[in-house]
Structure 1
Amino acid sequence: MKFEKVIVEKNENHVATLTLNRPESMNTFSSQMAAELNQALIELDSDPLIRVILLKGAGKAFCAGIDVNELAGKTAIEYREWIEKMEHPLVTISKLKKPVIAQLHGVAAANGMGLIAAADLVIAADNSRMGLTAINVGLNCVGPIIPVSRCVGRKKALELLLYGNLIKMPEALSLGLINKIVPQDELESQALQWAEELAQKSPIAVQIAKTGFYHSEDMSYEEQFAYMNEAFARLCTTDDAKEGVAAFFERRDPVWQEK
């Protein structure tokens, strides 16, 4: 599929960079961009040469939410279909086998913050900000709050949802919304380096780890152990598991076989 509102680039180190490409609108979600982003994620997950997806925004912001120019003149049913399309990528990320690292710069607001929270890992520029800002224009972020609340817990999630304030990166880090803070001028290089480091791990081990984590997240404590132990047992039968252990004993770099 040819994309207009997202850019897909692949490198020889098994990393695909997926860029939101509506810089003139601070990468706010249009229906077209939401659909293209979702399709691009699915296609990259199926690409045997790609192991890690690096998600970022063009221009001066990561993503400032949803394009309100599309808001007017819909019925309740049409609004539901419209917002489901906008939030579909947030759900899709959890279903992908391959990890998604978000590269945050500028602002991530409303659905943009939801996209950050939905990503598996996040590296952020030190001057970035994020917030569930829709409450400030008479709307709300009841979709984006779902991945946000899984990072921060109920009380802080409700505060973010109801007040709509933008928070800075030290607070975002303490809340578990991001993994790393780096200087703005080092964001591009450090994000790519981090993605390429993850891409050096066994692809099948990473994929089983991510899939198992999301599938077991809402299970009971005991059920989680049973599910994860089964996943680990399946992993142990793979060529990569055998190669990884052999390489460890032979003091050499492993050569991964599983895609």
Structure 2
Amino acid sequence: MSYETLLVEVGENHVATVTLNRPNQLNTFTTPLADELTRALKALDADPTVRVIVIKGAGKHFCAGIDVSEMSGKTPMELRAWIERMETPLVTIGEMNKPVIAQVHGVAAANGAGLVAACDLAIAAETARIGLTAINVGLNCVGPVIPVSKSVGRKIALEMLLYGELLEAKEAQARGLINRVVPAEELEKAAQDWAAVLAQKSPIAVQIAKRGFYVAADMEYHKAFAYMNEVFARLCTTEDAKEGVAAFMEKRKPVWKER
């Protein structure tokens, strides 16, 4: 499958890397990029050779948001359809079975920050900065703030939405937007190594855990426990669960059957 705005690579370690490839435009979202990113994510989710997906940006920055030049001349109805397309990749990540890791360097702003927050996990360079910056040009990040608020909570999300400041990587980590922060020169290797470790886990256990987590997140407290107990019971019937327990008892490395 070919792409004009992305680079997609699948490694032998079951890790796929998707690179936003508009470096001269700071990897800003356009209609083609949004559509291609959605298509690539769905294709990789369906690819049996892929277990983990890493998203990164080409050039100096991860993603500086949306290319606002596309706004011109659109009616309100057209603008609504357009912004929904920009946000579709963010929604898609939460609907996927396989985990997605953001590899963040430079600036991740506006929809770029939303993309980082929408990813299941995130690793960033010490020099990276992230923020909901659209308020500074008379717009707002009411779409990207949704995944951001799931990570940082209401008050911090509102502060980010209303003030539009860029957070340093360490502060973003402290607020829950980033899992790990590493020296910039180590980011590529650290992200790939981290993804490779996750790719060695039972694929079916990882995927069931991710789907269960997102479904339970929107449930009432006691109902979430009931749902997750059902998820666990189903997981226990899989071949991977039986193999994992047997390998543990026999003190050997498991051989996942992926079923």
Q: What amino acid is aligned across from residue 243 of structure 2 in structure 1?
A: E
The structural deviation recorded for 1:217 is: 0.6
Aligned to 2:178: 178
The answer on 1:111 being equivalent to 2:111 is: yes
Once the two structures are superposed, residues 240-259 of structure 1 have per-residue CA deviations (whole angstroms, 9 ceiling, x without a partner) of: 00000000111110000116
Once the two structures are superposed, residues 205-241 of structure 1 have per-residue CA deviations (whole angstroms, 9 ceiling, x without a partner) of: 0000000000111101110001100000000000000
In the alignment, the residues of structure 2 paired with residue 181 and residue 256 of structure 1 have an alpha-carbon distance, to the nearest angstrom, of 31
* SS at structure 1 position matched to 2:178: coil
In the alignment, the residues of structure 2 paired with residue 131 and residue 179 of structure 1 have an alpha-carbon distance, to the nearest angstrom, of 16
Q: What amino acid is aligned across from residue 119 of structure 2 in structure 1?
A: A
Aligned to 1:201: 201
Q: What amino acid is aligned across from residue 64 of structure 2 in structure 1?
A: A
The structural deviation recorded for 1:179 is: 0.2
* SS at structure 2 position matched to 1:64: coil
The structural deviation recorded for 1:169 is: 1.1
In the alignment, the residues of structure 2 paired with residue 81 and residue 51 of structure 1 have an alpha-carbon distance, to the nearest angstrom, of 32
When the two structures are aligned, how many residues end up with a matched partner?
259
Q: What amino acid is aligned across from residue 50 of structure 2 in structure 1?
A: I
The structural deviation recorded for 1:185 is: 0.1
Q: 5+ unaligned residues in a row in structure 2: which ranges?
A: none
In the alignment, the residues of structure 2 paired with residue 224 and residue 39 of structure 1 have an alpha-carbon distance, to the nearest angstrom, of 31
* SS at structure 2 position matched to 1:9: strand
Aligned to 1:63: 63
The answer on 1:5 being equivalent to 2:1 is: no
In the alignment, the residues of structure 1 paired with residue 135 and residue 222 of structure 2 have an alpha-carbon distance, to the nearest angstrom, of 39
Identity of aligned residues (%): 67
The structural deviation recorded for 1:69 is: 1.3
In the alignment, the residues of structure 2 paired with residue 4 and residue 234 of structure 1 have an alpha-carbon distance, to the nearest angstrom, of 41
In the alignment, the residues of structure 2 paired with residue 127 and residue 136 of structure 1 have an alpha-carbon distance, to the nearest angstrom, of 22
The structural deviation recorded for 1:18 is: 0.6
Q: What pairs up with 1:155-170 in 2 under 5 angstroms?
A: 155-170=155-170
The answer on 1:256 being equivalent to 2:259 is: no
Q: What amino acid is aligned across from residue 51 of structure 1 in structure 2?
A: R
Aligned to 1:98: 98
The structural deviation recorded for 1:71 is: 1.3
The answer on 1:138 being equivalent to 2:122 is: no
Aligned to 1:224: 224
TM-score after normalising by structure 2 = 0.99
